[in-house]
């Protein structure tokens, strides 16, 4: 994690007391500073007990944000208020899933695109040793999460690793054995680690082509912007700003092209900058980034 964007990996950590800690590495590889991070108002950043941080660009504005788990049944999102060179944070909002705050004790969040749809998801360990998956159903600039589901083994048994009297599961994903299938490590509160290897599905009938079948946006940057699509059923074309707010939409079907002039539903000219287009057909959708020129 390059915290100060100088090209050198740094280290961030939580701790038992609930602080958010930053260790900056210099060009020689030495840790030159350890800081209990402060919020914008100068107060020391703490969540009470057992802080568990993860870093992600939550709102797709090009700056690091922090997702922070805590002991008291909560995951918080802190949005960066300044720049990616030295992030500054102010207040937080509780992360919700299925329309309600995530309520897990000693929760350990991890950010990973587990379902491979191009949107990062939220995976969380917790005191009971289970692993919870919260699917991102939102947009690149405005994540939303479905209600959690427990990750299971191939035979349907919920994944739960305990050792002694403690669990406190924490996960990390990657391709451990370089076979092209996602694996993950599961750590526990007492420091033990288990490896779970992903299993490639065989003998499964090939799924039908996704809907929509084609979605093209161009030019980028541009104004007007041309949308071209192919849908197997009626669907909806929507444009969102960088904050995830819907600014324009149309009902579409079959194959077609629409030229959008960069105005909202009221005919007001939208500001230049980054936007996101989403084409939805049935239960499937495709998302594309676009940039409106001046």
Sequential DSSP letters for 88-141: -EEEEEE-EETTEE---TT-EEEEE-TT-SSS-EEEEE-TTSBEEEE-B-SBTT
Judge whether 71 and 93 are in contact, CB under 8 Å. no
d(CA 57, CA 60): 5
Torsion from C-alpha of 106, 111, 113, 115, nearest 10 degrees: 10
Lowest mean pLDDT among 192-201, 203-212, 251-260: 203-212
Torsion from C-alpha of 230, 235, 241, 244, nearest 10 degrees: -130
* 151-169 tens-digit pLDDT: 988 888 898 876 655 557 8
Confidence (pLDDT) at 212: 56
Judge whether 239 and 292 are in contact, CB under 8 Å. no
Q: What mean pLDDT, rounded, does the chain reach? A: 85
d(CA 80, CA 40): 10
Confidence (pLDDT) at 164: 59
* 195-205 tens-digit pLDDT: 888 876 554 45
Domains in the chain, ordered, with CATH?
11-196 (no CATH), 214-292 (2.60.40.3080)
Confidence (pLDDT) at 261: 92
Which of 284, 138, 113 shows the shortest CA–CA distance to 210?
284
Confidence (pLDDT) at 163: 63
Q: How would residue 249 be classed by pLDDT, with cut points 50, 70 and 90?
A: very high
Q: How would residue 207 be classed by pLDDT, with cut points 50, 70 and 90?
A: very low
Sorted by sequence, the CB contacts under 8 Å of residue 122 that are 6+ apart come out as: 67, 75, 95, 97, 109, 110, 111, 133, 134, 136, 145
The residue-averaged pLDDT of 268-279 equals: 90
Q: How would residue 263 be classed by pLDDT, with cut points 50, 70 and 90?
A: very high
* 104-150 tens-digit pLDDT: 998 999 999 888 888 889 999 988 888 999 999 988 888 999 999 99
* 225-235 tens-digit pLDDT: 999 888 877 78
Instruction: Kindly report whether the global pTM for this prediction surpasses the value 0.85.
Output: no
């Amino acid at each position: 994690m390059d915290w100060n964007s100088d090209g050198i990996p740094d280290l961030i950590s939580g701790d038992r007391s609930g602080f958010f800690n930053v260790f900056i590495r210099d060009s020689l590889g030495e840790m030159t500073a350890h800081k209990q991070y402060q919020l914008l108002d100068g107060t020391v950043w703490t969540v009470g007990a057992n802080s568990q941080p993860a870093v992600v660009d939550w709102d797709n504005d090009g700056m690091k944000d922090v997702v922070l788990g805590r002991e008291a049944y909560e995951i918080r999102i802190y949005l960066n208020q300044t720049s990616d060179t030295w992030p500054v944070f102010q207040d937080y909002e509780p992360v919700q899933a299925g329309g309600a705050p995530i309520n897990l004790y000693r929760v350990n969040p991890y950010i990973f695109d587990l379902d491979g749809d191009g949107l990062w998801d939220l995976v969380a360990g917790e005191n009971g040793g289970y692993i919870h998956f919260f699917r991102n159903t939102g947009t690149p600039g405005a994540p939303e999460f479905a209600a959690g589901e427990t990750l299971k083994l191939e035979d349907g048994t919920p994944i739960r690793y305990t050792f002694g009297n403690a669990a406190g599961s924490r996960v990390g994903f990657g391709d451990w054995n370089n076979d092209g299938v996602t694996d993950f490590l599961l750590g526990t509160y007492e420091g033990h680690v288990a490896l779970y290897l992903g299993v490639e599905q065989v003998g499964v009938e090939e799924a039908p082509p996704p809907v929509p079948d084609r979605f093209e946006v161009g030019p980028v940057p541009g104004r007007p912007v041309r949308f071209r699509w192919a849908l197997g059923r009626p669907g909806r074309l929507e444009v969102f700003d960088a904050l995830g707010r819907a600014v324009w939409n149309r009902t579409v079907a079959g194959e077609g092209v629409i030229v959008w002039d960069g105005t909202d539903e009221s005919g007001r000219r939208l500001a230049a900058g980054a936007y996101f287009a989403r084409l939805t057909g049935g239960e499937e959708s495709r998302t594309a980034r676009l940039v409106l020129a001046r």
